[in-house]
Each structure stands twice: as C-alpha cells, then as structure tokens.
Amino acid sequence: MKLLAVGSVAFDAIETPFGKTGKILGGAATFIGLAASAMKTEVSLVSVVGGDFPQEYFDLLKSKNINIDGVEIIKNGKSFFWSGKYHNDLNSRDTLITEVNVLADFDPKIPEHSADAEVLLLGNLDPAVQLSVLDKMKKRPELVILDTMNFWMDIALENLMKIIAKTDVISINDEEARQLSGEYSLVKAAKKIREMGPKFVIIKKGEHGALLFHESKIFAIPALPLEDVFDPTGAGDTFAGGFAAYIAKKGKFDFETMKSALIIGSALASFTVEKFGTERIQNVTSEDLTDRINRFKELTTFEALV
Ligand code: AMP
C-alpha cells in the first residue's frame, strides 16, 4: 500500500547532558521518512523548506528512497528551525527556539502519485494543515494515523478535535493523553479519546514503553533498555513512521498487525535516541533491525508458570 506522510522538514539544534549540536537535519517528516526507509517501505513526504535547505540533505533523503516530490521549496524563505535542551533525565526538555518560518504559511501540495495513498500519516503539525491534507486526498485513505502534541492542545484545540474525529489511529504520550482527556488513568484516558474518533489509541510512555488500546483490548510493550541514550529528539516521529510503514507494508489494519507495528516503531525509535539527530536512524541496516526485534522478543517472552 502507498504511504504518504506530512510533517516538518527542518533544522534542529540540540543540547543534551552529553553535548550540543549546531544546526543539523531534523523535522518530524524527516524522521518518519528515515524510519520508513529503514523498513524498506516506500514513503512520500509532503512538507515545505526554505532556499537555505542544503542540497546535501535532499540528496540524503533521496538516497534513502524517500520520495520528496511533495517537499516544496520557497526560494526566498527560511526553513523551520527548532532548538531544544534536555534535562538530566532526558525525559523532559525545554524548547529554546521555534522559528516557524516557511511553515507559517504552509499550504501542502500533494503530488498526483500520492493523492490516492491508502495510508496517511499526519505528522506533528498545525491541525489546520493536517485537516487540509486530508481534504486534498483524492479519496479518504483507508487508514489515517495522527501524531500530535500538547502544544496544539494549548493553542489549536478546536481544529485538533476536528482532525482527531477524522482519525483512525492516534499516537500521543501519556502526559498529552491525560491533558486531552482530563483523566489520570491511562485506561480511562484512552477510552475517552476513542470516543473522540480514533478506533486505535497509542499512548507512548518514553523509556517505559507504549500501550495500544482498541475496543476492550490493551497491548503493552516495554521500551528496550538501552545502554546509550544520547538524544531523544525525533523518537516519537520515528516511532510513528515505523508503525505506519509496517502497516502499509502488510496492508492490514487489524489489532494483531497493529501490535507488531508497535514493536517495529519502538525498535526503530530505539536507534534514533542513540545518537544526535538523524545520525543513527539513517544508518540502520536490516540486520540491525532484526537484531533489535529479536531482543524485544527475548525481553517479553516467558513460559506460563502455572
Ligand atoms: P519529537 O522529539 O518526536 O517530539 O520530534 C522532534 C522534531 O519535531 C524535531 O526534529 C523538530 O524539528 C520537530 N518539531 C518541533 N516542534 C515542532 C512544531 N511546532 N511543528 C513542527 N515540527 C516541530
């Protein structure tokens, strides 16, 4: 099945307890594309950058078989720039700078070849843009996956609720699920969020794994305990990209497929956090991925004891 993803393609500057970068390649759609590429799944990106975006980055994305026909270049504009600083535990961060630049007037253009994509991943962006992408599709995709964050709950709740109502799968973190639902219990939160529209609710819990809710069913996975966690930027986008890529590859939307997709998304996100920015995820081999999936299996399989 065809996979189309919309999100930011950007410059990031990151500070963690282990060091600091200058302006490097970032953006939600970038991580989504690289995750799909690591899954050997074709993906088309819809985004916008400025004339300052280096050819080297386009070449990198193209070399990973990521279709960027839908990435518009505004020659006299500047690319989106985000800068963040992580606290000592790496679980929380402060946004230092958000320069929206060309993303401010983003009018997404969907390439003809992708307007009938069966799987649409609406990466973390202004819900108004997410709504317009869905509107511009030739037909309603078979599966719409939404990634969002508390920032949009604070400033664009009305549009966010509109897009949530049109979504099949929503991916958010625990804090955001609580904010969106007003419930502390994640089980109650997921139930309320399902009542807003999505049949499937994914709640990410950072280094504590993720939960998948569907009807009365719950599936839980841990995060792989890693020796080196260096920079969590893009972990959520990588997760969503890997999840969507697996589903597009399988062409099935049932709970069992979603469970496997959750593992794939988490395995891929575990690479992203090992180095700054896209450095690790852009170099993941099939062997690396297989190895990590096997580690997930080892970590979670046991014999029934009674
Ligand atoms: P994550 O760590 O998964 O939350 O994603 C971080 C990525 O999201 C970075 O590469 C940023 O460039 C991008 N990002 C941060 N804030 C925004 C925003 N308001 N709109 C679009 N992309 C953003």
Looking at the structure of the chain, the number of domains it has is: 1
Q: Which residues pair with 92 in a beta bridge?
A: none
Residue 215 located in a structural domain = yes
> Residue of the nearest CA to atom 10 in ligand 1?
27
- Provide the CATH number for the domain around residue 254: 3.40.1190.20
> Residue of the nearest CA to atom 6 in ligand 1?
234
pLDDT tens, N- to C-terminus, the chain (306 residues) = 999 999 999 999 999 999 999 999 999 999 999 999 999 999 999 999 999 999 999 999 999 999 999 999 999 999 999 999 999 888 788 999 999 999 999 999 999 999 999 999 999 999 999 999 999 999 999 999 999 999 999 999 999 999 999 999 999 999 999 999 999 999 999 999 999 999 999 999 988 899 999 999 999 999 998 888 899 999 999 999 999 999 999 999 999 999 999 999 999 999 999 999 999 999 999 999 999 999 999 998 989 887
> Residue of the nearest CA to atom 9 in ligand 1?
27
- Cβ 114 under 6 angstroms from ligand 1: no
- Please give the Cα distance from 89 to 207 (Å, whole number): 10
Residue 7 located in a structural domain = yes
- Confidence at residue 306, expressed as pLDDT on a 0 to 100 scale: 78
- Confidence at residue 11, expressed as pLDDT on a 0 to 100 scale: 98
Residue 306 located in a structural domain = no
Residue 82 located in a structural domain = yes
> To test ligand 1's pocket by mutation, which of 23, 106, 155, 237 has the most ligand atoms within 8 angstroms of CB?
237
Give pTM, 2 decimals.
0.96
Atom of ligand 1 nearest to the CA of 147: 3
- Confidence at residue 228, expressed as pLDDT on a 0 to 100 scale: 83
Task: Note the pLDDT tens digit of each residue in 186-196.
Answer: 999 999 999 99
- Please give the Cα distance from 168 to 121 (Å, whole number): 10
Residue 68 located in a structural domain = yes
- Cβ 235 under 6 angstroms from ligand 1: yes
Q: How many CA atoms lie within 13 Å of 97's alpha carbon, on the beta-carbon side?
A: 13
Residue 57 located in a structural domain = yes
- Cβ 240 under 6 angstroms from ligand 1: no
Residue 296 located in a structural domain = yes
Q: Which domain holds residue 275?
A: 3-300
- Cβ 245 under 6 angstroms from ligand 1: no
> Residue of the nearest CA to atom 13 in ligand 1?
27
Residue 305 located in a structural domain = no
- Cβ 233 under 6 angstroms from ligand 1: yes
> Residue of the nearest CA to atom 14 in ligand 1?
27
DSSP code per residue over the chain: --EEEE---EEEEEEETTEE-SSEEE-HHHHHHHHHHHTT--EEEEEEEETTS-HHHHHHHHHTTEEEEEEEEETTS---EEEEEE-TTSS-EEEEEEE-GGGGG------GGGTT-SEEEE-SS-HHHHHHHHHHSSS--SEEEEE--HHHHHH-HHHHHHHHHT-SEEEEEHHHHHHHH--SSHHHHHHHHHHTS-SEEEEE-GGG-EEEEETTEEEEEPPPP-S-----TTHHHHHHHHHHHHHHHHT--SHHHHHHHHHHHHHHHHHHTTSSTTTTGGG--HHHHHHHHHHHHHHH------
Task: Note the pLDDT tens digit of each residue in 59-85.
Answer: 999 999 999 999 999 999 999 999 999
